[in-house]
A and B are shown apart, each in its own frame.
Chain A
Amino acid sequence: MLLELKGLTKLYDENNGARDLNLQVSEGEFITLLGPSGCGKTTALNLIGGFLRPDRGEIIMEGVPITDLPPEKRPISTVFQSYALFPHLNVLENIAYGIRFYRKVKKKEALNMAYEYIKIVGLEGYEAYKVGNLSGGQQQRVALARAMATKPRILLLDEPLSNLDASLRYRLREELKSLQQKMGITMIFVTHDQSEALSLSDRIVIMDKGDTIQVGTPKEIYFSPKSDYVASFIGKSNIIKGVNGERIIIRPEDIKIDLDDNGEYKIESLTFLGQQTELIISNGDISLEVTALGKDNSNFKTGDRVNATINHQVKI
């Protein structure tokens, strides 16, 4: 086991901080901490990075407790939200910073070594730029290169894509994924964006108000949510009461509807969104949200009667 968190707790007050966080991370894994702002994911990251001291709990790296180590002694590097690049240093000097101080290499050699990482992130020609003169995407790459240049055992990423516009965010997400696979770096990634989490992660940790709610692969999280909170935070879902009082979660895209004049359900409203049409159907008792894909499914009208087939459902 590369990294183990045992009962890690740091509370600012009742609802702020991280409570009793347990997690095991293996070599090469991509873990995402996902939750709304204030859920404790950044606190968790700061604890792992060594910027905060936990109230309780332990951090163990390859069997060695590192809870009391300061950040500069941990084999962990962080890509900060809004990057935290040193404004008084240029691109190359920023990247060389960790090589000098963490890897204890002489300045001149460190600058040479930093070129390697300039190449990895594709910033050749920008070595002498002041970081203030770079675009958001370029700053992002510098931050990534700087963190990787210490050859960390674990890379922490604190919402690294959140300051970028949508198309750039998508591109860098792909780059990050392929970089991770190529270099085999273990990453812990913090985000509030579910599509980032689902597309990048090996495992996702869902957090809320400081508590860990569920840990699992993207598929487990999506198809077998453990609670209403997880179900509604990731994707959309219908939550209905079962016969024995249990709660049943049905994803809107798992409901198929067919026109039938004697159908059980009536279409209450619909919204056409291009690739999909979102409908709300009701049988008087319950109403369900339905997502219907494709052109064939775009011809329903409000007031139509339909039959609904539920393909998948999960009990919680």
Chain B
Amino acid sequence: METGKAIWRERRVKSLLSSGFLIEKAIVLLIVVFILLFILYPIFMVISTSVYNRGVLSFENYSDLLSPFNLGLIRNSVFVATLSSLLGTFFAFCVALHVFFQKRKWGELIYRSLMITMISPPFISAIALIMLFGRRGLITHGILGLSANPYGWQGIVLLQTLSQISLASIMLISALNSIDSRLIQASRDLGANPTQTVFRVILPSIFPAIMSVLFLFFTMNMADFGTPIIIGGNFNVLAAEAYLKTFSAHDIGKAATLSVLLIPPAIVAFYFYRKNIGKINTLSEGARVLKGAELNFRLPLVIKAFIGGVTGAFFFCMILKYGIIFLAATTTNVSGELVFTWNHIEAFHYRYVDALYRSLHMSIIAGLLSSVIGILLSYYTHRLKLPLMKSVEFIASLPYIIPGLFFGLGYIVAFHNEPLLLTGTMAILVLNCTFRHISVGNKAANAAFENIDSKLEMAARDLGTSRIGVLFNVIFPLLKSSFLVSFINTFTKSMTTVGPIIFLATPRNMVSSVLMFHDITNGRYGLGAVVASLLIFITVSVNLVAIKFLSKEKEEKPVTDKFLGKERGEKHVAGAKGFN
């Protein structure tokens, strides 16, 4: 029998020789270098491009902004973005309130539907709008016999408002669910009726969430160039101009300046978002807390009917949208009559097979990479508490804050020269998607770690696992669901994203979402609808499988209940950005 002394002697020799320590150092170094190179450097390059004119420091680009033409653009952008985000937030609040006070089954069904309607490539609603209300629209022309014009700011506001309601509702629902329900009880107990309670307690409690939603969507709407280009007509906005400047005029300095302008509202959104998350984290632990639906809480009929009506109208629009898109994919308009056709699907077959394959390829690799790096970043920052890692983690969260257009521009200016010549390759697309979504995996892991006793790692070390062994034997198995959440999020966003990669996808490395955007802007709505349907089908199926898997995990491990909820919140917030 081996004595304890002998085992110890052997172990001591082995650990001196072990290469685990070096491997770990190398991993940390690699993460830090990657984050600096693929996040901080491109951001820095956009800002520097905006203040350098042909190699000379100059603020010409900024002073140009004050020209009457540019001021008009800014005014248009602010007007549209303000209106859509106010409307979107208001309607989302109605939907969220409606769901919050629903019976569990029905509320759950609406929540799931919101999650599904959230997954959709941006601006494809424009197809439905044009099909229904355009010059040859089914309703305006076909039924009413009018030649209406949907192009203009009204169209932009309508589409932006509709497109943000799903995500905004989900964010507000998680905020509502995080209210300590005893506050609501206390308010009633102290004599406030349900309506007073909504205004005096519920609204103030989720105020940070509302502000975060408002500014997030303000940023997204400011940065949205797709909708205005397709549906804006003569109404021009800042982001669309930045896009056109880069795309047709190749004036990257101007585009960089315009996109720098989008940063301040993004920072405000982030500030409120952090505040909100902080509040959720410190929510007092108590005995069993009643859910909204279990509270004996009766809103006046008028309010109830109104929020129910808003929810119903929203889902009616969503059904209409998907219905029309599927219809558009299989029909063609022959002098006002819809006729079934295979043409779009055949055209898709010729034009899209390679692009779709590249999309999948890019999204899967980006999903894997961003999840692994995100989790490792969390581990080294919060578990091992390595010095300076907090700053690195902050840098990693930047792509999550800044508009996609900005991040995409950064990659063009940063990686078009030797030795980092990446333009036109698959690598630049994969890297862009990976680092854009890295903070989702990072935050999911942070939340998971909060619920995992740090003594577990101590125990593993105590029982003889090396530092690197702990990672593989303890950390990764425990973070399976964080990994999945992160992977699905990055995969979905990468499949449907346009904003950040529109300048990076050239004919050599074209992916389907970008190609679809070009087809729709060129009026090939039928073809666009086929691609949109397929992208929706792929991403929704993948998400449904993942949701199923996650809820199964959740049943097995009730302890993780809380962190799944939190992850979900994070996931949706992050999800917003891919849509720019």
Contacts and interface: CB of A to CB of B under 8 A. Distances in A.
Interface in B168-225: 180, 182-183, 185-194, 196, 200-201, 204-205, 207
Contacts of A72: 188-193
A101 B196 contact: yes
Given A42-B287, A51-B290, A88-B204, A82 B182 contact: yes
A294 to B, nearest CB: 40
Given A80-B182, A84-B182, A84-B183, A71 B204 contact: no
A100 B204 CA distance: 17
Most A Cβ at <10 Å: residue of B182, B187, B191, B196:
B191
Given A70-B298, A150-B190, 5 more contacts: A78-B185, A78-B189, A81-B287, A86-B201, A97-B187
A37 interface: yes
Given A71-B296, A82-B182, A84-B182, A76 B286 contact: no
Contacts of B286: 81-82
The 8 closest A-B pairs by CB, nearest first: A102-B191, A98-B190, A84-B182, A101-B191, A71-B188, A101-B192, A84-B186, A88-B204
Interface in A57-96: 70-72, 76-78, 80-82, 84-88
Interface in B543-560: none
A117 B52 CA distance: 65
B284 interface: yes
A78 B194 CA distance: 17
Contacts of A86: 183, 186-187, 201, 204
Interface of A: 37, 42, 46, 49-53, 70-72, 76-78, 80-82, 84-88, 97-98, 100-104, 146-147, 150, 159
Contact of A82 (B185, B200, B284, B296): B284
Contacts of B313: none
Contacts of B187: 86, 97, 101
B515 to A, nearest CB: 49
B295 interface: yes
Contacts of B186: 78, 80, 84-86, 146
24 contacts: A42-B287, A50-B188, A50-B296, A51-B188, A52-B296, A53-B296, A72-B191, A80-B185, A80-B186, A81-B182, A81-B286, A82-B180, A84-B180, A84-B182, A84-B186, A86-B183, A86-B187, A97-B190, A98-B189, A98-B190, A101-B191, A101-B193, A101-B200, A146-B190
Interface string B127-138: 000000000000
A154 to B, nearest CB: 11
B191 A51 contact: no
B85 to A, nearest CB: 23
A103 B188 contact: no
Interface in B257-288: 284-288
Contacts of B189: 49-51, 71-72, 76-78, 98, 147
B79 to A, nearest CB: 31
Contacts of A46: 185, 290
Nearest to A103: B191
Contacts of B287: 37, 42, 81, 159
A264 B533 CA distance: 89
Contacts of B180: 82, 84
Sorting the interface of chain B by its residue count into under 10, 10 to 19, 20 to 34 or 35 or more gives 20 to 34
Interface string B63-93: 0000000000000000000000000000000
Given A72-B191, A101-B192, A102-B191, A51 B295 contact: yes
Contacts of A100: 191
Residue picked from B183, B186, B192, B201, most chain A C-beta under 10 Å: B186
Nearest to A76: B189
Contacts of A82: 180, 182, 284-286
Interface in B294-330: 294-296, 298
A240 B207 CA distance: 62
A245 to B, nearest CB: 41
A101 B185 CA distance: 14
Contacts of B207: 88
Contacts of B284: 82
A137 to B, nearest CB: 16
Contacts of B298: 70
Most buried by A among B188, B200, B284, B285: B188
Contacts of A84: 180, 182-183, 185-186
B190 A101 contact: yes
Contact of A102 (B190, B204, B288, B290): B190
Contacts of A81: 182, 286-287
Nearest to B180: A84
A88 B179 CA distance: 12
Contacts of A146: 186, 190
Contacts of A49: 185, 189
Nearest to B192: A101
Interface in B520-552: none
A311 B265 CA distance: 79
A114 to B, nearest CB: 12
B573 to A, nearest CB: 22
A86 B184 CA distance: 9
Contacts of A150: 190-191
A149 to B, nearest CB: 8
Contacts of A104: 191
B98 to A, nearest CB: 20
B293 to A, nearest CB: 12
A84 B181 CA distance: 8
B195 to A, nearest CB: 11
A94 B180 CA distance: 16
B298 to A, nearest CB: 7
B112 to A, nearest CB: 24
Contacts of B188: 50-51, 70-72
A109 to B, nearest CB: 15
A3 to B, nearest CB: 16
A78 B286 CA distance: 16
Contact of B185 (A71, A88, A102): A71
Contacts of A80: 182, 185-186
A291 B452 CA distance: 43
Nearest to A102: B191
A37 to B, nearest CB: 7
